[in-house]
Structure 1
């Protein structure tokens, strides 16, 4: 498997307008240059606004497959949402790592992404909240993520180090008992 980080993204918590109300959110991520420190609670310079649903030890880093970006670009254009004519830059879905070559269908809870300088463990799928609709610019974004299963996945930090765009990684299988796509579908239906 030839997998790598296309973009490494961080963001600070900031006000976000959602359905006429202002909420704090760290969903807006921007690409970072150079190497970024990865510690137990995530990437240096990254924040989450609501630690009850994002962040913490088991959700320190959020990864999203770059292969899904074309879909989101198309549905935003059809909805004429936000800057719908603009290409979505990496980090637009709130992810820290925009990955190439690894999808939700290929990872299981407990799998390890081994980079040269750190190791991250797959912990759970991302479940979208109302803030995802706001940042995508249309009210059906959460529904589309739920229906497609293109949710990305959270990672816990097993070995601290640094990461940068362009870093390659190896996927080391864990116990392979619960797949990310399977877990996402089960929780969405519940």
Structure 2
């Protein structure tokens, strides 16, 4: 059980890019409605790759902030929750102990872990670190997303209470390892492709690798344009 800070944000232009982002999230002080598309008042600038039912809520472990300070040095973004665009900030839950399909009661809502987070180039701009997205991907400190099984009202300080764990072997760490480390393991890719609790987009990646024998080129997603 872990109490949470809730954060939302509005889409704003990213200077010098011609793009917008809602990665800057700020803590909320009162209850929010949580529905299939996320929290009331939260936005995503590019709905092609952000948001939607399988990415309704982004959770990033507060536990990782000290490691990032050690790696990139002191940074004002790391002084408070929301540095990585998360909707939920909490301690005690990490990629090592959270699995795809885990169901949590959060206030009046029931949410389920749907997939890991795939970092994008907007993190580079946010931190002013040219390879921040690549660092996040390479570290495995990615965070994850939830789908909403039962909408409800959620308030800051509510607890995430684990109520079911149907696929305990498929931690977010293992999923990351299949996607980004041992990337062409046919046994793991086959299991991943058939894991119905996993978001369809990730299962599709596994199927494509099995069929093509190739790994995706993530360069444009990680580097973008400055």
Query: Corresponding residue for 1:170?
Result: 161
Aligned pair count reads 181
Specify every segment of 5 or more residues in structure 2 that has no aligned partner in the other structure, as ranges. Answer: 184-214, 216-226
Alignment partner of 2:174: what SS? helix
Aligned to 1:142: 133
- Aligned-partner Cα distance in 2 for 1:86–1:143: 18
- The CA deviation at 1:137 is 1.6
RMSD, aligned α-carbons: 1.7
1:89 equivalent in structure 2: 80
Structure showing greater radius of gyration is 2
Higher strand share: 1
In structure 1, C-alpha distance between the alignment counterparts of 2:65 and 2:32, rounded to whole Å: 24
Contact 1:120 1:157 (8 Å CA) reproduced = yes
Q: Deviations over 1:132-190 (max 9, x none)?
A: 11111211211221221010000000111111221112122123352211112322244
| Equivalent-residue separation in structure 1 for 2:29 and 2:69 (angstroms) | 24
d(CA) in 1 for partners of 2:79, 2:13: 20
Instruction: Provide structure 1 residue ranges, at least 5 long, that are not aligned to the other structure.
Output: 79-83
The 5 Å alignment of 1:9-48 reads 9-17=7-15, 20-48=16-44
Q: Which has the higher helix share?
A: 2
2:2 aligned residue: 3
Summarize the Cα distance change of 1:12–1:163 in structure 2 as closer, same or farther, 3 Å threshold.
same
CA spacing shift, 1:50–1:160, aligned 2, 3 Å: same
Matches of residues 36-185 of structure 1 in structure 2 within 5 Å?
A: 36-77=32-73, 84=75, 87-171=78-162, 172-185=164-177
